Chain A
Amino acid sequence: MEHTLTTKSHTGDRPRPAKNYLTEEKGIWSWMTTVDHKRIGVMYLVGVLSAFFVGGMFALLVRLTLLTPSHKLFGRVLIDAQTYNRVFTLHGAIMVFLFIIPSVPAALGNFVMPLMLGAKDVAFPRLNLASFYLWVTGAVMAVLSMIFGAVDTGWTFYTPYSTTTDGAVTLMTMAVFVLGFSSIFTGINFVATVHKLRAPGMGWFDMPLFVWGIYATAIIQVLATPVLGITLALLALERVFSIGIFDPKLGGDPVLFQHFFWFYSHPAVYIMILPGMAIISELIPTFSRKTMFGYRAVAYSSVSLALLSFIVWGHHMFVAGQSQLATVIFSALTFLVAIPSGVKMFNWLGTMYKGNISLETPMLYAISFLLLFAIGGLTGIFLGTLSTDVHLTDTYFVVAHFHYVMMGGTVIAFIGGLHYWWPKMTGRMYNERIGQIGCIIVFIGFNMTFLTQFFMGSKGMPRRYYNYLDQYQALHAFSTVGSWVIGLGLFMTAANLLASLRKPYDAPDNPWGGTTLEWQTSSPPITHNFEDQPVLEKAPYDYRPEPVAH
């Protein structure tokens, strides 16, 4: 295909197809029984964004409760301590299991990856639909658990508190168990897809970096999630049948639960960040109109992060009672795992250097990611360092750190990717100005909310606290106001995207001048993605000018 440089609005020569994947089949039933990866991606998108909304509402409630030490709003106590404990638990559990883990792979990955590979669909389309229904089942179970007593254990479910407290702990952990299988099946699907369904001519090192990121994520999904499954099953069995593996009164070891739990949950955070990084690796070359600097290094770093992520879980347990030797070893390994992330950061900056950079909404989100993930990653060093971790762990410092990497990292990248692929998925262009303003508002609000929390934690403010000493009031209040600013920015962004759906199709095939295969088909794509099987003729991110075709 021809490829020009000034591709700010490249309409392409092809007329818009009469029917696309959205319109070819109509009716609810066609959606509910679809095996089209694009439709499944869209359904996932609706699902995870709904979960994000619910989790976000809980977050706003948490922050609102902490606005003053008395927890009062307009003279009335907002919620009591027990309810607060449930609210922060649900915020965490919903965000982690219902939103972030599936978000990029299942919503964006499902849609974009087969297109990027030049494939018609994923390797196992029916398994893909099954994954989605498992997600729905897990979501329903989670909602039921909220109705039937809710959970107040924290999203980490530490024993023996979680085996002895009342509430719908068993139901919630079983919901997560089901969600785990959704994640596992997606992982299996994606690994097989990448191995087997690449377009002719596309070797491993011709794949877009987004695919590398999703692939590395899928490996973790396959290997780590079963351990979460068995851990939660053991927790449920302990609650119901008093098995005695975690309960000291029955001869068990509470710290064992933590080992099992973090053996999954540390790799899980890489399930969260790798796809986010994968998106950034698409956005930066495209909007810099320059080839990705250090493609191989970035590809290798994705896979090495996936593998290294399995050997650092003990850094969540430096003061938990694990052996001193284990503590030292985990700290050392944690520093090792910091390196590939740093490498990516430099490669992205190297890509921007001497680029031709425009600042559309996706690129603003990408730059936000660079700044916010930098802070998140650097504060991780404080936590990997043994002497400082002892003081900072279990305080707001940790809360701030993980929000910077998960929200400032993954969520920001996700929203950037959503804007980037929005024209492809929906055939419409969103309003650019509002998109950019929304990004800036979210960026400001995010820092207001969470930068503050580093200082709170350093001063000694523990996490998961309903009551707090008066000395923290100003910081808490500032953080709460920040949460409102985030809410405003996200609301604007959501409204902007949704408003675009009322327009007729106006998106060209390749609005951004991207070089990867998804931009070679129409926006929105036809049901089987490409008219003819695409054959890869050159590597991705190649912005060298073509000689004009004759």
Chain B
Amino acid sequence: MLPPQGSAYAAEVDTMYMALFWLSVVLFLGIAVAAIGFAWRYRYKPGRVTPHQTHNTMLEIVWTVIPLLLCVGIFFWGLHGWMEYAVAPGEAMEVQIVAKKWIWQFEYPDGTRTVNEIHVPVNKPVRFVMTSEDVIHDFFVPDMRVKHDIVPGRYTEVWFTPTVLGVHHVTCAEYCGKGHSDMQAKLSVDTDAQYANFMETGGTEWEDYKNNPAAWGKLQYERKGCSTCHSIDGTRITGGGPSWKGIWGKMEEMNDGKKVLVDQDYVTESMMYPQAKIVKGFEPIMPTFQGLLRSHEQQGLIAFIKSLGNDPKGGPPAPTMLSLPPKAQPGQTQAQPGQTQAQPGQAPAQGQK
């Protein structure tokens, strides 16, 4: 009668539901037996006189008060369950949802984004902070017994602690137009190991850009904060860093007089150890992006920088295809300066998703 239970809360809701179900069955049977029973027992006989019973005050009071008490009890029981749904625990991981016709966009605290798919670790509370870009949608996870409308122009919330591993269904539950019934997502409840692996690869969005690393890089340029300090049109941003336009393959002068080739190694080092080399005329203020950029995001940025104009005399080619790194060996960190990701002999990127 009900979907599989995906959380402890689901079990509580089901208990309430089943209680109401059996109560309804009993009351309905009572009414049905009375109605049909009376119709049979007191079926028409010519000449029979019916008693003139206009009312019975005591009976009427009883059958008003008892339902009232039942209702009060049910109300409080429902309230109790609902209060758990209504208030997220403080330690819940926050995931942002931006809904729009007719897709689900999820964003993790570290900036990882996925579309129509969300991974969460089992047995840990997760809180969804949601808004819509267009019309009202609704985030409904039947297995968790939770739903809440997603309203444009404001934020709404829903939370749960999943206890059952596997894939659970997410479906939009507020009519939003032609694609309403196609607006589905997958909620994957993972073991800690599975979840960690997922966070490493950073979701599914990058796969759409596999053949266009420069476009992926441009997105990272906008999302990871690079655009705050580095322009792409040659202008200098006050308080920022060098513009990226045309720097690929250039011999850049550092503040200690040394000249350095702007290539993959240099760019990677600048992301991970920004204080190691400072371009002349600039301040040593860039923060490190260690742990904040996945390998495919770095590859994308490098490809993007190259695409902004390069010196034909300089440097090795930028990556033409995004890929995941080989599994890290114990003791080895993921992004080392000098680590190259060059792919041999790939055709240049064509078109875009």
CB of B282 within 8 Å of the partner chain = no
**Of B141-149, B215-223, B225-233, B324-332, the one touching chain A:** B141-149
Question: What residues of chain B lie closer than 8 Å to A252, measured between beta carbons?
Answer: 153
**Of B174-182, B255-263, B313-321, B339-347, the one touching chain A:** B174-182
* Residues 1-59 (chain B) with a chain A CB within 8 angstroms: 1-3, 12-13, 16-17, 20, 23-24, 27-28, 31-32, 34-36, 38-39, 42-56, 59
A395 and B173 in contact, given A332-B75, A459-B2 (Cβ under 8 angstroms): yes
Question: What residues of chain A lie closer than 8 Å to B145, measured between beta carbons?
Answer: 390-391
A42 to B2, CA, bound (A): 47
A335 and B72 in contact, given A5-B47, A321-B149, A355-B42 (Cβ under 8 angstroms): yes
Q: Are B67 and A342 in contact (CB under 8 A)?
A: yes
Give the number of residues in A that approach B within 8 Å (Cβ atoms). 93
CB of A242 within 8 Å of the partner chain = no
Question: What residues of chain A lie closer than 8 Å to B176, measured between beta carbons?
Answer: 161
Q: Are B140 and A358 in contact (CB under 8 A)?
A: no
Question: What residues of chain A lie closer than 8 Å to B24, measured between beta carbons?
Answer: 375, 378-379, 381-382
B68 to chain A, nearest CB (A): 6
**Of A207-215, A220-228, A292-300, A488-496, the one touching chain B:** A292-300
Question: What residues of chain A lie closer than 8 Å to B51, measured between beta carbons?
Answer: 290, 354
Most buried by B among A152, A390, A544: A390
Residue from the list B1, B52, B146, B175 in contact with A161, Cβ < 8 A: B175
Q: Are B149 and A161 in contact (CB under 8 A)?
A: no
**Of A99-107, A186-194, A345-353, A500-508, the one touching chain B:** A345-353
**Of B110-118, B130-138, B188-196, B297-305, the one touching chain A:** B130-138
Question: What residues of chain A lie closer than 8 Å to B2, measured between beta carbons?
Answer: 458-459
CB of A249 within 8 Å of the partner chain = yes
CB of B242 within 8 Å of the partner chain = no
Q: Are A387 and B149 in contact (CB under 8 A)?
A: no
Task: Map CB proximity to B onto A108-142 as digits: 1 under 8 Å, 0 otherwise.
Answer: 00000000000000000000000000000000000
Q: Are B38 and A464 in contact (CB under 8 A)?
A: no
Give the number of residues in B that approach A within 8 Å (Cβ atoms). 82
Q: Are A331 and B55 in contact (CB under 8 A)?
A: no
Q: Are A291 and B134 in contact (CB under 8 A)?
A: no
**Of B76-84, B197-205, B244-252, the one touching chain A:** B76-84
Residue from the list B3, B60, B149, B179 in contact with A459, Cβ < 8 A: B3
A519 to B50, CA, bound (A): 21
Task: Map CB proximity to B onto A249-291 as digits: 1 under 8 Å, 0 otherwise.
Answer: 1001111000000000000000000000000000000001111
CB of A81 within 8 Å of the partner chain = yes
Q: Are A387 and B78 in contact (CB under 8 A)?
A: yes
Q: Are B46 and A6 in contact (CB under 8 A)?
A: yes
Q: Which residue of chain A has its CB nearest to the CB of B131?
A: A248
Residue from the list A85, A343, A460, A469 in contact with B178, Cβ < 8 A: A85
Residue from the list A249, A354, A371, A389 in contact with B50, Cβ < 8 A: A354
A460 and B1 in contact, given A289-B50, A545-B49 (Cβ under 8 angstroms): no
Question: What residues of chain B lie closer than 8 Å to A30, measured between beta carbons?
Answer: none
A465 to B179, CA, bound (A): 9
Q: Which residue of chain A has its CB nearest to the CB of B135?
A: A161
Task: Map CB proximity to B onto A374-390 as digits: 1 under 8 Å, 0 otherwise.
Answer: 11001101101111111
Q: Are A357 and B140 in contact (CB under 8 A)?
A: no
Q: Are B50 and A356 in contact (CB under 8 A)?
A: yes
Q: Are A467 and B149 in contact (CB under 8 A)?
A: no
Q: Are A324 and B86 in contact (CB under 8 A)?
A: yes
Residue from the list A254, A353, A386, A462 in contact with B136, Cβ < 8 A: A254
Q: Are B138 and A394 in contact (CB under 8 A)?
A: yes
CB of B85 within 8 Å of the partner chain = yes
Residue from the list B38, B72, B143, B152 in contact with A355, Cβ < 8 A: B38
A352 and B142 in contact, given A358-B44, A381-B74 (Cβ under 8 angstroms): no
Q: Are A158 and B175 in contact (CB under 8 A)?
A: yes
A319 and B142 in contact, given A357-B44, A367-B39 (Cβ under 8 angstroms): no
Q: Which residue of chain B has its CB nearest to the CB of A543?
A: B50
Q: Are A295 and B55 in contact (CB under 8 A)?
A: yes
Question: What residues of chain A lie closer than 8 Å to B68, measured between beta carbons?
Answer: 339
Q: Are A346 and B38 in contact (CB under 8 A)?
A: no
Most buried by B among A357, A359, A463, A464: A357
Question: What residues of chain B lie closer than 8 Å to A197, measured between beta carbons?
Answer: none
Q: Are B178 and A81 in contact (CB under 8 A)?
A: yes
CB of A535 within 8 Å of the partner chain = no
CB of A33 within 8 Å of the partner chain = no
A531 to B82, CA, bound (A): 63
Q: Are A249 and B153 in contact (CB under 8 A)?
A: yes
CB of A229 within 8 Å of the partner chain = no
Q: Are B172 and A321 in contact (CB under 8 A)?
A: no
A314 to chain B, nearest CB (A): 13
A203 to chain B, nearest CB (A): 16
Q: Are A293 and B54 in contact (CB under 8 A)?
A: yes
B147 to chain A, nearest CB (A): 6
Residue from the list A161, A367, A390, A462 in contact with B35, Cβ < 8 A: A367
Question: What residues of chain B lie closer than 8 Å to A206, measured between beta carbons?
Answer: none
Question: What residues of chain B lie closer than 8 Å to A395, measured between beta carbons?
Answer: 173
A374 and B28 in contact, given A324-B86, A343-B63, A356-B45 (Cβ under 8 angstroms): yes
Q: Which residue of chain A has its CB nearest to the CB of B31?
A: A374
Question: What residues of chain A lie closer than 8 Å to B35, measured between beta carbons?
Answer: 349, 352, 367, 370-371
Question: What residues of chain B lie closer than 8 Å to A463, measured between beta carbons?
Answer: 173, 175
Q: Are B55 and A293 in contact (CB under 8 A)?
A: yes
A81 and B179 in contact, given A254-B151, A296-B55, A390-B145 (Cβ under 8 angstroms): yes
B88 to chain A, nearest CB (A): 12
A345 and B31 in contact, given A319-B147, A339-B64, A352-B38 (Cβ under 8 angstroms): yes
B85 to chain A, nearest CB (A): 6
CB of A164 within 8 Å of the partner chain = yes
Residue from the list A5, A379, A393 in contact with B49, Cβ < 8 A: A5
Question: What residues of chain B lie closer than 8 Å to A345, measured between beta carbons?
Answer: 31
Residue from the list B27, B63, B79 in contact with A378, Cβ < 8 A: B27
CB of A165 within 8 Å of the partner chain = yes
CB of B268 within 8 Å of the partner chain = no
Q: Are B175 and A390 in contact (CB under 8 A)?
A: no
A206 to chain B, nearest CB (A): 13
A255 to B39, CA, bound (A): 48
CB of A468 within 8 Å of the partner chain = yes
CB of A455 within 8 Å of the partner chain = yes
CB of B275 within 8 Å of the partner chain = no
CB of A60 within 8 Å of the partner chain = no
A367 to B143, CA, bound (A): 38
A465 to B180, CA, bound (A): 7
Task: Map CB proximity to B onto A24-48 as digits: 1 under 8 Å, 0 otherwise.
Answer: 0000000000000000000000000
B101 to chain A, nearest CB (A): 9
Q: Are B135 and A160 in contact (CB under 8 A)?
A: yes
Q: Are B153 and A357 in contact (CB under 8 A)?
A: no
A85 to B101, CA, bound (A): 15
CB of A320 within 8 Å of the partner chain = yes
16 contacts between A and B (CB under 8 A): A321-B151, A321-B154, A335-B75, A343-B60, A349-B31, A353-B53, A354-B51, A359-B39, A371-B35, A385-B75, A387-B13, A458-B2, A462-B173, A462-B181, A465-B181, A468-B181
Contacts A290-B51, A382-B20, A386-B79 given; 4 further ones with Cβ under 8 A?
Answer: A81-B179, A342-B67, A352-B39, A460-B140
* Among all A-B residue pairs, the 5 with the closest Cβ atoms: A248-B153, A460-B142, A387-B81, A385-B78, A386-B82
